[in-house]
Structure 1
Amino acid sequence: MYQRQLLPPYRCRKRWDVGRRVLPFVFRQRFKIAETWYPLWSPWDRLLEQAGVPHHFFHKGDTILKVKVFAGDHLFVDRLTYNFRRPKRGEILVFATKGITDPRTGQPAMPQDQFYIKRMVAMGGERVQIGNDRHLIINGERLDHTTPHFENVYSFDPRQPPRPNQYSGHVNGFIAGQVIAPLFPDESTIFAVRPNHYLVMGDNTMDSYDGRAWGDFSRTNVIGKYFFVYWPFSSRFGWAAR
């Protein structure tokens, strides 16, 4: 005779911990079954949604981002000339960024431990405008391709729109947008350069972060004059360009 034995029912004891936030939108909590703890994370497919940021799901092989990286020029700097005279309009200066601030906020306009290279377009006491024709106006006088050191800058075809990486003059905020030239929103805006200060702008006007965004800087920031590019071996290699 067989006796049927009933086993006691399996008792599953559950316990939860209080959990903790690992990142602003990632929450980790553990639960215990019997003697084993198991982690529970916020669903990964909802993390961006919980963070409140725009998101998109990509599949294998999709292109997410395309960028181009350009190495900076390596060059020699003439640190002697400006000990005997002041910079002239149109000369290309190498200057330190220390102390350059955004005039709208008073905050540093860029990293304060770097050296920039730009073309000097105006000096202390001058009043500067950028016309819609992409030419600078200094104290009421329009610069053009006959102005010394601006032969290439104003060699563009006015029938063509401004383009990155090409000489296209100088653009104001009306032409290129306020992000590029917040201090020159239109051709009627006049920027007054402070005494003993310089205003510089880049030749690649559509991509240059320059005085149109952060104004002028003290002449004590000037390191020297652009002299000779020794790397890379490109169209910019050689003695100082105009």
Structure 2
Amino acid sequence: MNFALVMLILLAVTGGIWLLDRLVLAKRRGPHRKEPWWVEYPKSFFPVILLVFLLRSFLVEPFKIPSGSMIPTLLVGDFILVNKYTYGIRLPVLNLKLIEVNSPQRGEVMVFRYPEDPSLDYIKRVVGLPGDRIVYRNKQLEINGQPVKMVKNGEYSYVEGSLDLVRTLHFTEYLGGHPHAVLINPSTPSVQLAGVRQFPFRDNCTYNEDAISCIVPPGHYFVMGDNRDSSSDSRYWGFVPDRNVVGKAFLIWWNFGDLKRIGMVIR
């Protein structure tokens, strides 16, 4: 469901009734007659809907994390806040950029519309900017020929689904001034070739089981999940166009299963 579109429709309906009543209906009704319910309710809801629409469209929007692709940075069930204006002011619903503010930077956690189905919101970490050559070889990330620093921190285990215990290695990766945790499973290939699809600018990438090499096209970004071996990301479905960018994730505001995560800054 496109929540922004639903909000826009509700805003148009309630605002239209409010305006119609102010310009026409109130004068016909006179000062002593009660408003009919179909005027009273929309007029009451209109300012609330307007406020929510403006906040979600231009300032901050909440999201819920549905998968484990960003573990350990983000856990399943985290409710996060996304800054909608840091990457530019965009026209609601159409997502057309009206005012340029900042561009996504390497290492930032970004929410975007999934290129294969823009009705879905995805969240990943920005790895490659337009023009970058991205190489991911033997679980080591390289950007423009320079390996990205990684420091091993030991092991990390988590439960996938309801029963499966997944054991991985835990690293700190230093990407674009944003040190963050990543998980690596040494027993899996760097790229599972069976999962690679056709996508725009597919010719910019070369693949084998141990490596992927891509040149990021203009106006696009290369993104990856922090849970590297359990993430559907740019390795498999390609680049994120700038028009699909939603905003920058910056705060965990709730988690029903772990209240200690409330207020954590997303790095």
Counterpart of 2:103 in structure 1: which amino acid? R
Indicate how the Cα distance of structure 1 residues 149 and 181 shifts in structure 2: closer, same or farther if over 3 A, else same. farther
Structure 1: gaps (5+ residues): 1-67, 101-108, 164-170
Deviations along 1:114-165, whole A, 9 cap, x unmatched?
A: 1111100001111111121x121111111123432244227x7xxx7368xx
Hey, what's the Cα distance between the residues in 2 that align with 1:151 and 1:180?
26
TM-score by length of 2: 0.49
What secondary structure is seen at the aligned counterpart in 2 of 1:113? Answer: coil
C-alpha displacement at 1:181, in angstroms? 5.7
Deviations along 1:14-38, whole A, 9 cap, x unmatched?
A: xxxxxxxxxxxxxxxxxxxxxxxxx
Which residues in structure 2 correspond to 1:131-170 (within 5 Å)? 131-132=137-138, 134-144=139-149, 145-147=173-175, 148-153=177-182, 161=186
1:112 has 2:118 as partner: yes
TM-score by length of 1: 0.53
Q: How many residues align?
A: 149
C-alpha displacement at 1:236, in angstroms? 4.7
| 1:91 paired residue among 108, 114, 119 | 108
1:39 corresponds in structure 2 to none
Hey, what's the Cα distance between the residues in 2 that align with 1:139 and 1:181?
23
What secondary structure is seen at the aligned counterpart in 1 of 2:181? Answer: coil
2:61 corresponds in structure 1 to none
| 1:207 paired residue among 220, 224, 230 | 230
What secondary structure is seen at the aligned counterpart in 1 of 2:223? Answer: strand
Q: Residue 182 of structure 2 contacts residue 228 of structure 2 at CA under 8 Å; is this kept in 1?
A: no
Moved over 6 A (4+): none
Hey, what's the Cα distance between the residues in 1 that align with 2:228 and 2:211?
19
Bigger Rg over Cα: 1
1:241 corresponds in structure 2 to 266
Taking only the aligned residue pairs, the percentage that are identical comes to: 34
Structure 2: gaps (5+ residues): 1-66, 69-74, 89-100, 150-172, 198-204
| 2:208 paired residue among 185, 188, 200 | 185
C-alpha displacement at 1:85, in angstroms? 1.3
2:83 corresponds in structure 1 to 78
Between Structure 1 and Structure 2, the one with more helix by share is 2
Q: Residue 180 of structure 1 contacts residue 206 of structure 1 at CA under 8 Å; is this kept in 2?
A: no
Hey, what's the Cα distance between the residues in 1 that align with 2:265 and 2:187?
24
Alpha-carbon RMSD = 2.9
Q: Residue 118 of structure 2 contacts residue 244 of structure 2 at CA under 8 Å; is this kept in 1?
A: no
What secondary structure is seen at the aligned counterpart in 1 of 2:208? Answer: coil
C-alpha displacement at 1:195, in angstroms? 0.3
Hey, what's the Cα distance between the residues in 1 that align with 2:261 and 2:140?
24
Counterpart of 1:224 in structure 2: which amino acid? G
Hey, what's the Cα distance between the residues in 1 that align with 2:242 and 2:261?
26
Q: Residue 229 of structure 1 contacts residue 239 of structure 1 at CA under 8 Å; is this kept in 2?
A: yes
